[in-house]
Amino acid sequence: MRLRSISNGMKVALTHDYLNQLGGAERVLEVFAEMYPDAPIYTILYDERLTLGKFSNKFINESKKSPNESEQKNTASSKRKIITSFLDNPFVRKNHRLFIPLMPLAMRFLKIGPEYDFVISSSAGFAKGIRINKNTHHLAYIHTPLRYAWEESYIPPEFNSFMKLFFKPLLWYLKRWDYKVAKKPDILIANSSFISSKIKQYYNRDSIVVYPPVDLSVFYPPEIIPEKKEYFLAVGRFLHYKKFDFVIEVFRELGLHIKIVGQGPEEARIKKMAEGAPNIEFIPFVESNAELRNLYQNARALVFPQIEDFGLVAAEAIACGTPVIAYNAGGAKEIVNAHSGTLFPQQTKKFLIKGINEFIAKELNFKPEIIAEQARKFSKENFIEEIEKIIKKYFSDMGLSNS
């Protein structure tokens, strides 16, 4: 069998779980979309406003480093085709977690036609389950196995024991479904060694580790280092496992200034915890990469107390020359080292305080240019090169030609 090459007309389709938010998984999809500008995106639901139109146009052209640091927005006038499921309506987009039980079915109802040679799925659960033609090849980039199915720690704490018991048949179904569809892709890529080990444990499959991409032309150290940095920083969606409540408890006690960037279902509870603490500042939404870069560059350190599959926020902070104070678990262990931050050993208030104090004691030893150097292995160029190398090897091993 002879396939058309990627550079010479090979037809590629992309698929992603859902597009109603912007996080690390969506940043990976942005790069896939840039690699394959004509590829349609199949997804359960899509909100153009909440994704800032990043997936609407065929070309995604982020800002390049320049003296005036101007943001270059999407420049193509042609629209990318985005195909959504029967769940795509305004109510579901706002409350998508309520519809998790229907998402396997929604993805199953989406089918990629035989005209496509290759499918790339960006999956934290559902996208890898899309139906494809038997002659179409499938690379699945796995951000994580479906969390709710495999790990009870990701079930929100407001679910009491009775509710967890009630949902056990559903979780059993999701686990069986996730295991079954994980057998179908031809290639599995994990976003970290941490996730690669989970893929082996849950799916009994090997995977190749390719770290998510950081665009080093967007995230880089400041040319002039501020004489005194005033605040710490935390960035992410307000979900219980991200441990923002933990951060607020610690910073209320220490009285240090922290800026918290994010939104999410836990927002009201987290903001209530911070009431009466003038040192805790919330920034609900960052409009551009330039604004996010500025926040990273001017922070004393990024506080990262959660267990993440990878932790693109931590990698972006390091690329901006900002050290990271992280819990020594999950993807953070693969990002933070002695040159780029401090790791604390237990996810407790006591040890986070100790980690912050250890950082402050050696804060002046961290040099932005040395920190930023640690992020080079996460560059977008490395990511693209690795993905293309894997696809080329797959064709070769299968006795196929992609030229």
Q: What is the pLDDT of residues 239-284, one digit of tens each?
A: 888 899 999 999 999 999 999 998 888 899 999 999 999 999 999 8
What span, in angstroms and rounded, lies between the C-alpha atoms of 175 and 203?
A: 10
Residue 72 in this model has a pLDDT that exceeds 60: no
CA distances from residue 367 to 169, 214, 221, 277 in whole angstroms, order as listed? 52, 20, 10, 31
Between the two ends of the chain, the Cα-to-Cα distance in Å is 11
Residue 371's pLDDT band (cuts 50, 70, 90): very high
Residue 183 in this model has a pLDDT that exceeds 90: yes
SS3 59: coil
The encoded tokens of residue 148 equal 């709710």
The encoded tokens of residue 165 equal 């018991």
Q: What is the pLDDT of residues 116-161, one digit of tens each?
A: 999 999 999 999 999 999 889 999 999 999 987 888 766 665 555 5
Tell how strand 131-132 and strand 41-43 pair up: unpaired
Residue 382 in this model has a pLDDT that exceeds 60: yes
Give the CB-side neighbour count of residue 348, counting CA atoms within 13 A: 5
Residue 71's pLDDT band (cuts 50, 70, 90): very low
Amino acid 62 reads: E
**Predicted pLDDT of residue 67:** 38
Q: What is the pLDDT of residues 196-216, one digit of tens each?
A: 999 999 999 999 999 999 999
What span, in angstroms and rounded, lies between the C-alpha atoms of 396 and 403?
A: 11
Residue (of 23, 28, 62, 15) closest to 378 by Cα position: 28
SS3 299: strand
Using only C-alpha atoms, the chain has a radius of gyration, in whole angstroms, of: 21
Work out the burial of residue 78: count CB atoms within 10 Å of its CB; fewer than 13 is exposed, 13-18 middle, 19 or more buried: exposed
Walk me through the domains of the chain, giving residue ranges and CATH numbers.
6-213+379-397 (3.40.50), 231-377 (3.40.50.2000)
Work out the burial of residue 113: count CB atoms within 10 Å of its CB; fewer than 13 is exposed, 13-18 middle, 19 or more buried: exposed
Can you give the pTM of this predicted structure? 0.86
Higher pLDDT, 71 or 158: 158
**Predicted pLDDT of residue 401:** 58
**CB neighbours (10 Å) of residue 1?**
10
Query: What are the φ and ψ backbone dihedral angles of 258, each rounded to 5 degrees?
Result: -135, 140
**Predicted pLDDT of residue 11:** 92
Q: Are 211 and 308 in contact (CB under 8 A)?
A: no
**Predicted pLDDT of residue 2:** 42
Q: What is the pLDDT of residues 338-368, one digit of tens each?
A: 999 999 999 999 999 999 999 999 999 999 9
Question: Angle, nearest 10°, between helix axes 289-297 and 312-319?
Answer: 70
SS3 content of the chain, % helix, strand, coil (to 5): 40, 15, 45
The average confidence (pLDDT) of the chain is 88
The encoded tokens of residue 14 equal 């992309």
Q: What is the pLDDT of residues 13-61, one digit of tens each?
A: 999 999 998 888 999 999 999 999 999 999 999 999 888 888 987 653 4
The encoded tokens of residue 126 equal 């559902």
